[in-house]
Structures are given as structure tokens and as C-alpha cells.
Amino acid sequence: MITIVAKFTLKAGKKQEFIQAVTPMIEGSRKESGNVSYNLFEDIRNNNILTFIEEWKDKGAIDFHNQTEHFLTGLDVIKELSENIEITQYQKL
Amino acid sequence: MITIVAKFTLKAGKKQEFIQAVTPMIEGSRKESGNVSYNLFEDIRNNNILTFIEEWKDKGAIDFHNQTEHFLTGLDVIKELSENIEITQYQKL
């Protein structure tokens, strides 16, 4: 299993637009057979920081995901709305 | 529920020492009634980065956790073994 933590620091005032843009991405991702979980979180102390925590069955599942339309469409928008992006892939110890 | 992502960039060569130091902390934390899950992950691309993803029932559970001996003892050691520490508390959207 691979866990992805994808942290976005949004440009000021872009939160609602961000959430709208990622909603189809969340729904589409959860339907992929290689997805285990896919959730969006907000930093309690700074609500301009939004983070996905995603669990995927294996590397193949992520490779597939990265080619889906819901991912590519969402990614374009969230890149534009973000000031800083930090994506890390993890394996459990 | 509150999710904590605690990311540690270790000083060179300190990984085994870090894992040894956090093992009692992991075991103790999982036994706390306010803990939902508590897992340690390794960055797939940089195995000097170790991250806890922790789920807690509520703020009271975290306040209690922050006073436990297994947490305070572990924290002292991991502070010493880390070059950079980034801890974020999240709520699910």
C-alpha cells in the first residue's frame, strides 16, 4: 500500500474555488479500483492549507490514477490556485 | 476527529535510533482510549524522512496524549535526532 500526503497552501481567497475544483476529482478517485481511501483535510490553525491523504493499493494504482481525466483536470486548476504544493509518497513501516 | 501529520527529517545516520526511540511511543499511544490510529511511514523517495499519521477522537484526546510519559520521553529523543520537524493538525472536510 502507498499513502500520499498532498499539501496545498492556497493563494488568498481561493478556498471555495479549490474545493469546487477538487470535488469531481475526489469522487472519481474513490471509484478507482486501486484506491483505498481519498480524503481532504484542512489545517486547523491555517484554513488556507488543504491536504489530501490518499491510500492506494500499489504503484500501478497510482500510475493509473495519474492518467485519469478527473485527476488531470483537477490538477490543472489546483496548481493555479496554490501558492505552494508539497506531495509525498509514503510506505508504512 | 483530528488527524495529525508529524513529519521528521532525520539527521544523517539516525534512522535506526529514531525507530527504536519511537517504538514505545507508538505502542503506548495505540493503547490510549482517545487514539483511533497511530502509524509511522517512510518517504519512498527519501528514507531520511519519517512521518506519523495519527487519528484522535478529539482535542481532549490529544491534550491527554501530550502529557503521557511515552509521548514526552519519545519527543525528547526525536527532537534530538531530527533536523526538521513539521507537525500539522487537520480536520476532515
pLDDT for B82 equals: 98
**Interior CA angle at B29 toward B25 and B32, to 5°?**
150
- In whole angstroms, what is the distance from residue B74 CA to residue B29 CA? 11
The model's pLDDT over B9-22, given as tens digits with 9 standing for 90+, comes to 999 999 999 999 99
Å between B68 CA and nearest CA of chain A? 23
Chain A (31-70) residues lying within 8 Å, Cβ to Cβ, of chain B: 39-45, 49-51, 53
ipTM given for this complex: 0.93
**Which of the four pLDDT bands, split at 50, 70 and 90, describes residue B66?**
very high
Q: Is B16 on the interface with A (CB under 8 A)?
A: no
- In whole angstroms, what is the distance from residue A5 CA to residue B7 CA? 11
Give the residues across from A2 on adjacent strands. A56
pLDDT for B77 equals: 94
Cβ neighbours for A72, distance < 8 A, ≥ 6 positions apart: A66
Compare CB distances from A44 to B42, B50, B91 and report the shortest one's residue.
Answer: B91
pLDDT for A73 equals: 94
Q: Collapse the DSSP code of A29 into the 3-class scheme (helix H, G, I; strand E, B; otherwise coil) and give the result.
A: helix
pLDDT for A46 equals: 96
pLDDT for B42 equals: 97
Which residues in chain A have their CB less than 8 angstroms from residue B7's CB? 88
pLDDT for B31 equals: 98
Would you call A39 and B91 a contact, using CB atoms and an 8 Å cutoff? no
- Amino acid (one-letter) located at B52: F
Which residues in chain B have their CB less than 8 angstroms from residue A5's CB? 5, 51, 53
- In whole angstroms, what is the distance from residue B62 CA to residue A50 CA? 21
Compare CB distances from A89 to B45, B89, B91 and report the shortest one's residue.
Answer: B45
3-state secondary structure B18-67: HHHHHHHHHHHHHHCCCEEEEEEEEECCCCCEEEEEEEECCHHHHHHHCC
Q: Collapse the DSSP code of B16 into the 3-class scheme (helix H, G, I; strand E, B; otherwise coil) and give the result.
A: helix
**Which of the four pLDDT bands, split at 50, 70 and 90, describes residue B40?**
very high
Compare CB distances from B5 to A5, A40, A42 and report the shortest one's residue.
Answer: A5
- In whole angstroms, what is the distance from residue B4 CA to residue B38 CA? 9
Å between B93 CA and nearest CA of chain A? 5
Query: Cell 491536504 belongs to which residue?
Result: A51
The model's pLDDT over A39-89, given as tens digits with 9 standing for 90+, comes to 999 999 999 999 999 999 999 999 999 999 999 999 999 999 999 999 999
The model carries a pTM of 0.95
